[in-house]
Structure 1
């Protein structure tokens, strides 16, 4: 039997008021949605969630990456996440296609174990439209295995059917959808079939379920199926307001809903997760005694701490309106050979600790700057670690996709001192001595090449 050994989630720091979006087309709305920053994409979100899930462990045999907004086409985005997570070369890394159902597919693939499922998305929509208001950005990661489980995977079942509910052509900003009542009827039929098949397969009675939750892009179908499952089981339905608080996060939403269920589960609880996207995928988990002590910080703890950004700023971040270019030369195209030679530092932010004197340096050198020992270093990966600001400067002239640039000198908790760019903050919000954490981000994109590296953000 396999199950979830550990999991993690990541929600970006920024929030967008739905009223600001609706005002662009003369409508009204309430609440906020989560939005990724200007240096974030589906890959960087996946890395953040992956670090939260893995911790110090790297015991997986494959990475399965699900998103509807891949940073690259043709190039495998999971490989970038694999490098940033510091996984061994022998671990396979695979993308699962730009569909909402790929989130459920990642969970199924990783459950064959021991695998890592990365579910991440950056969702947009037509300017001022319903999808832009109701969508959200975020990521979840799950490590499956056979030992030290938080939740046993009791069983799964999938049902597929061809019908037109939501669709988006490559290159389109937002999706289009058929009238929701049509999709509601189709999904209700498929959900009932998947639920019945799952109970037969596992031998579990409907009344034995402790909690049920449903995710999917068709909000009407999600509500209808959730109410039907509650009537069948008498179970609670946690996570029903997650889309209202975060936004529907596409391929990542199934993962965020599952994480929300695990956050609230008690030992022995039987949890049903139903994903509705071009079919129905049902997962049945049973929480173990370890769920109390082994789970991470709850997903909902970070919901209230976001920073509101103006709608105009969001449009600049997404390239929907053009910013006045900086009066400085644009950066040159990143070098593929240089990145390959320095992959351990560029993607994994790995340094070296001198075996003779213990000095930590970044990137890992051949000669120790203190004792001059040669080739006597052990690797020190600090990706995802913390430190404190020693000094910083604000540069209003340097080229940046989101000026001004804040550059800081940081003493890392793992040892060593680095100069690094700060993100998710404004100049007046930071001070010398502040605690920061490293985060994998996109420095910029030149000629279609994303220049990924590490930054630091307030902790």
Structure 2
């Protein structure tokens, strides 16, 4: 009897995470508003992650997706779901951008999922349910959020920015889904309406007492009973709550052992919105042992509950985008005014140099989207020369072959700095702008901006990688252009 791919169980085969390097000290935020709201000092511990000016939910999703795909075959991915409450485009599929920048083939199904902080777990359940994937055996669920908060609000302290990606497939899964349940409940403890930048939040004590803790116990008990599990049979509990104390309180109300609640990471990076539950799942998988069970919850206008079990394959798995590494890669930031400027809350006087029209010619951008979004160079099949951008004629003066180039992706490859310039005359949101040439080890040169080199020596010969970032923003037309930038390798 021949075994088909659909006869094998669908499980988690990989994961990845991304947190912006910048970590704002909460004490700095609370101190800045102490004159008006001294109560904020009670939440002044730890740090929160926040995007630089050239990061958003799309760029973070690409970073997490590429990390998850490093352990699998991108060619087998047949579907990608992008979950977020802060997608930059309302009528342009953001998941398509993420798929192309992640190196996935065009013939896949992509979708945006939003509207709730449990969009990440909802997309994960849907991916598990989608058993027969046309044209491939794998699917990718990516969740990313970059929620903004009103200055001086508790949300400004509590929120964080980041992304997590979960890769599903049938080749040596590291965790399988034992069961799940969902409940829809229009519990409005907070919301953000169309055209509004910030959430409106109702009274915190009411939300705590009447929220998930009131309805979760019955659902947890029913799910465990259906799976023939007892509360002691759950080894790790991932609850995307606002704090460790709150997560432990919810777990206790469900009859679960509070000591088994995973660190909600509120002190290290803040709450990542729709990405927080997938991030906690990835973090649990990093620490779990084969055979252990994980209870994952997604909260927001109801809840999702998933019970997963780690397999023997987890012992050999190593993630290219580990949560622990992402947490440890942060850089403390104490410049609150820069934080506000990057959030878009503080409008700076940028001068006349910032008045250049940034209109994008979409026809040209579409014709070159493989190079711009996918960072596809051309490799001459006659002599092997790599060139960017790809052209019809090989640039090797000893070759000059016509129409001989095949696509050659540069993303994920290592390069070295060939030249660099620092410029304070041109407008740049985070001056000075640093740009120059990098040369990839396998061939090909690229003119790029250099970002995130604080703490690393930027010099000729330095090793560099590339990251997908915002190139510029056309505020007049509400459009963002994306390209790749050089980061320390």
- TM tier, shorter chain? over 0.9
Output the CA distance in 2 between the equivalents of 1:318 and 1:428.
Answer: 25
Structure 1 unaligned segments of length 5 or more: list them: none
1:77 aligns with 2:77: no
Deviation at 1:219, TM superposition (A): 7.9
Name the residue aligned to 2:182.
158
1:306 aligns with 2:330: yes
Name the residue aligned to 1:40.
55
1:9 aligns with 2:17: yes
Residue pair 2:244, 2:266 contacting (<8 A) in 1 also = no
Name the residue aligned to 2:117.
100
Residue pair 2:158, 2:242 contacting (<8 A) in 1 also = no
Q: 1:195 to 1:336 in 2, by over 3 A?
A: same
Output the CA distance in 2 between the equivalents of 1:382 and 1:413.
Answer: 10
Residue pair 1:188, 1:221 contacting (<8 A) in 2 also = no
Task: For residue 96 of structure 2, give the secondary structure of its aligned residue in structure 1.
Answer: helix
Q: 2:67 aligns with which of 38, 47, 52?
A: 52
Deviation at 1:458, TM superposition (A): 1.4
Task: For residue 61 of structure 1, give the secondary structure of its aligned residue in structure 2.
Answer: strand
Name the residue aligned to 1:170.
194
Output the CA distance in 1 between the equivalents of 2:456 and 2:126.
Answer: 45
Mapping 1:268-287, distance limit 5 Å: 268-287=291-310
Deviation at 1:197, TM superposition (A): 2.5
Q: 1:235 to 1:201 in 2, by over 3 A?
A: farther
Structure 2 unaligned segments of length 5 or more: list them: 1-8, 131-137
Q: 2:364 aligns with which of 328, 333, 338?
A: 338
Residue pair 1:213, 1:226 contacting (<8 A) in 2 also = no
Q: 1:323 to 1:233 in 2, by over 3 A?
A: closer
Deviation at 1:24, TM superposition (A): 2.5
Deviation at 1:234, TM superposition (A): 7.3
The one-character-per-residue Cα deviations of 1:35-59 (angstroms, maximum 9, x if unpaired) are 1111000000000000001126222
Output the CA distance in 1 between the equivalents of 2:241 and 2:78.
Answer: 29
The one-character-per-residue Cα deviations of 1:266-321 (angstroms, maximum 9, x if unpaired) are 11111111222211211111111221222315312332332233110011112222
Deviation at 1:20, TM superposition (A): 1.5
1:145 aligns with 2:169: yes
Deviation at 1:427, TM superposition (A): 10
Output the CA distance in 2 between the equivalents of 1:176 and 1:222.
Answer: 23
Residue pair 1:159, 1:279 contacting (<8 A) in 2 also = yes
Residue pair 1:209, 1:235 contacting (<8 A) in 2 also = no
4+ residue runs over 4 A deviation: 216-221, 426-429
1:358 aligns with 2:384: yes
Output the CA distance in 1 between the equivalents of 2:283 and 2:326.
Answer: 12
Task: For residue 245 of structure 1, give the secondary structure of its aligned residue in structure 2.
Answer: coil
Residue pair 1:134, 1:243 contacting (<8 A) in 2 also = yes
Output the CA distance in 2 between the equivalents of 1:98 and 1:395.
Answer: 41
Name the residue aligned to 1:190.
215
Q: 1:217 to 1:96 in 2, by over 3 A?
A: farther
Mapping 1:199-278, distance limit 5 Å: 199-216=224-241, 222-229=247-254, 231-233=255-257, 236-240=260-264, 242-278=265-301
Output the CA distance in 2 between the equivalents of 1:94 and 1:217.
Answer: 28
Output the CA distance in 2 between the equivalents of 1:204 and 1:147.
Answer: 27
Using structure 2 for the length normalisation, give the TM-score.
0.89
Q: Which moved more, 1:339-348 or 1:384-393?
A: 384-393
For the aligned residue pairs, the C-alpha RMSD in angstroms reads 2.0
Output the CA distance in 1 between the equivalents of 2:393 and 2:233.
Answer: 63
Q: 2:350 aligns with which of 287, 302, 325?
A: 325
The one-character-per-residue Cα deviations of 1:236-260 (angstroms, maximum 9, x if unpaired) are 22223x1121100101101111111
Q: 1:362 to 1:340 in 2, by over 3 A?
A: same
Task: For residue 24 of structure 2, give the secondary structure of its aligned residue in structure 1.
Answer: strand
Aligned length: 457
Output the CA distance in 2 between the equivalents of 1:396 and 1:74.
Answer: 36
Deviation at 1:345, TM superposition (A): 0.5
Output the CA distance in 2 between the equivalents of 1:233 and 1:226.
Answer: 7
